[in-house]
Amino acid sequence: MKVTREGRSFTVDVAADGEGLLSHAGAALLAEVADRVGLTRELSAALQGVRERRGRHDPGRVIRDLAVAGRRWGLSFGPCGRCVISNLGPVASDSTAFRLIDRIAEEPGLLDELRRARARARAQAWELGVRPERIVIDIDATLITAHTEKEGAAVNFKSGFGFHPLLACLDESHETLAGMLRPGGAPATRPKRSCRSWWSSIWTTRS
């Protein structure tokens, strides 16, 4: 696989087994896929208005790096996450990444732009041959444990503590299309909110 870093190309071998492999070695492949299907480019275009004037970090790439690190370490973007993606080029600091997240949270319209960016990248990936034969959207709730007090966390029906988000996924390809964060005490189904998640997921499949 050819990987481009800071304008230079080099070859990376991707294998599923062998000696001396690290469990997070697939991070380079994830980042390269995001670049190849245009996701990084689309994210950058969607967030071009929030780029810091003197900042050297492209917001779209910061979001891509967060996604790659999150795939391996959950929601952590600490030293471990940065160590992995640092092989892919310059990595934003925690404060830079969190400022970007705060900015997106403050402007709801940016979330719509990110959804459209994902939709365009998904359309590109599907054109490359990964389009499901049938579009079946599975809407279900899942329990996420919170080990400390967090905003919105609550006791769930299994006596655990955390969140009970509603997710919309493509059944065949297992792509997560949309999610709705809910407190742990939220019921497994709620018609009005289910409809919101349903239509949001339908929208994100379109380019």
Q: In the prediction, which pLDDT does 144 show? A: 93
Rounded Cα distance between 93 and 99, Å, is: 10
Residue 116 tokens, joined: 């459209």
Cβ–Cβ under 8 Å, residues 18 and 29: no
130 residue type, one letter:
V
- Place 43 in a pLDDT band, splitting at 50, 70 and 90: very high
62-76, 169-183, 184-198: the lowest-pLDDT one: 184-198
Q: In the prediction, which pLDDT does 171 show? A: 87
Residues 6+ away with beta carbon under 8 Å from 85: 27, 31, 65, 68, 69, 91
Backbone angles phi, psi at 24, to 5 degrees: -105, 15
- Global pTM value: 0.72
Extents of the domains making up the chain: 2-113, 132-204
pLDDT, averaged across the chain: 80
Q: In the prediction, which pLDDT does 203 show? A: 63
Rounded Cα distance between 204 and 192, Å, is: 19
What mean pLDDT is predicted for residues 7-36? 72
First to last CA, the chain: 28
Residues 6+ away with beta carbon under 8 Å from 59: 43, 44, 47, 48, 50, 51, 100
pLDDT in tens, 58-84: 999 999 988 888 766 555 555 555 555
Q: In the prediction, which pLDDT does 90 show? A: 77
Q: In the prediction, which pLDDT does 23 show? A: 58
Backbone angles phi, psi at 92, to 5 degrees: -70, 150
pLDDT of 192 strictly over 70: no
- Place 188 in a pLDDT band, splitting at 50, 70 and 90: confident
- Place 176 in a pLDDT band, splitting at 50, 70 and 90: confident
pLDDT in tens, 86-127: 666 778 888 888 899 999 999 888 988 998 899 899 999 999
